[in-house]
Structure 1
Amino acid sequence: MTRLRAPFGRWDPASPSEVVARFSGLDCCWWVAGGLAIELAVGRRIRNHGDVDVLLLRRDQLMAQQALSGWQWWAADPPGSLRPWASDEALPPEVHDIWCRPGPDDPWRIQIMIDESLGREWVSRRDPRVRRPISTLGMVSADGVPFLAPDVQLYHKARAPRPKDEEDFGAALPVLTDRQRRWLVEAISTTYGPHPWIERLQA
């Protein structure tokens, strides 16, 4: 089987409007994720982005192939390498990252992230104790871009914050609602234990 080893090549991230154009016709939930989700929540540019993430639930993973028909899809299996994702292949539970590009000589355009669910609930793949209704998982920007709610995105970033994660947290903190702050404190405490973000969330 053909495999790619890191580094995997250059990126030319799709814009949020291009993502909407490709994914809006799908009969499933999807959300822009990562740092762009934080920017959509804040409503302004925060920093540069090397890629663009789109989150799907595992049960809807094949919808990505429909949205990106004719593209190349490469699964991070195992992490640190990429292998072709076959048409109609259900990826195993340990695979949750897919790199996509129009063709073999093109830069990567979209990264698909796969998360878990149970019935009507989203379930964190990092900690099954952390969950919430799928209906509360995302928001929609003023120009119609579905994006992952900032408290959920920051929960992912809290595991081992990099400088860009700290920057995103600082930018998002003023726009978090009281409910989002409470959920994030509980989720971080449950999964990671004591954390420097908790005191700032409770201030």
Structure 2
Amino acid sequence: MHTSWDPAAPEEVHELFAGLAAPWWLAGGYAVEQALGRSLREHGDIDVLVLRRDHVAVQEVLRGWEWWAADPPGVLRPWRAGEVLPTEVCDVWCRPAADRPWRIQVMIDESDGECWTSRRNPRVRREVRSIGRTGASGIPYLAPEILLFYKAKDTRPKDETDFAALLPLLGPDQRRWLARAISQTCGDHPWLAHGSLG
């Protein structure tokens, strides 16, 4: 089994997911760069977020690919055609064929009616229509404050880099939302001590 990654470019993801009759957004580091309008750092993968209500439709836009569900606590297993994944499965690794590198990681998040709800804390919620932005290239990506909310857990050096780059883009309402979401989910957090957050 090929185990390496060769992340698809955002433009390739956009072309593939244009056929998805449901909302989707870039997440992770590539989404940070969509928000910034420039490259920031290297990327080991590319993340695409969809809502659980829509996740089976991903198999249609990636027809002919292999899809592997990341089943906790860290086992990759084939995702069968038409299978509705259980709530504990939040990631799917995708590649064109068994002898090809992984190209796209699909992340699955929750919703309640027309509200997105964080899989980490169902109290953290927003209207689905408000969680995304569109880059200059037309590629949808998660709003910067939501990107940083997800990056706040178990921060790594690249998350600190992304925080420093995105913070100046956040308006007062976005900063308050982020501070509240982090506080509700992570408790005390170094980012909350940042004078410009909250």
Shorter-chain TM-score: which interval?
Answer: over 0.9
Q: 1:178 aligns to what? A: 172
- Matched positions, count: 197
AA aligned to 1:30 is W
CA–CA separation in structure 1 for the residues paired with 2:91 and 2:38: 27
Deviation at 1:55, TM superposition (A): 0.3
Stretches of structure 1 lacking an aligned partner (at least 5 in a row): none
Give the stretch that moved more between structures: 96-105 or 35-44. Answer: 35-44
Over the residues paired in the alignment, what is the CA RMSD in angstroms? Answer: 1.2
* % identity of equivalent residues: 57
Q: For 1:1-203, list aligned pairs within 5 A.
A: 9-200=3-194, 201-202=196-197
Please give the alpha-carbon distance, in whole angstroms, between the structure 1 residues aligned to 2:9 and 2:152.
Answer: 25
Distance in 2, matches of 1:117 and 1:63, equals: 16
Letter aligned with residue 202 of structure 1:
L
TM-score (norm 1): 0.94
Listed one character per residue, the Cα deviations across residues 42-61 of structure 1 (whole Å, up to 9, x for unaligned) are 11111000100000000000
Gaps of 5+ in 2: none
DSSP-derived class of the 1:49 partner: coil
CA displacement, residues 128-162 of structure 1 (integer Å, 9 cap, x when unaligned): 11111101110000110000111101101101100
Q: Give the Cα–Cα distance (whole angstroms) in 1 for the partners of residues 191 and 15 of structure 2.
A: 36
Deviations 1:173-197 (A, max 9, x none): 1111221111101100111112111
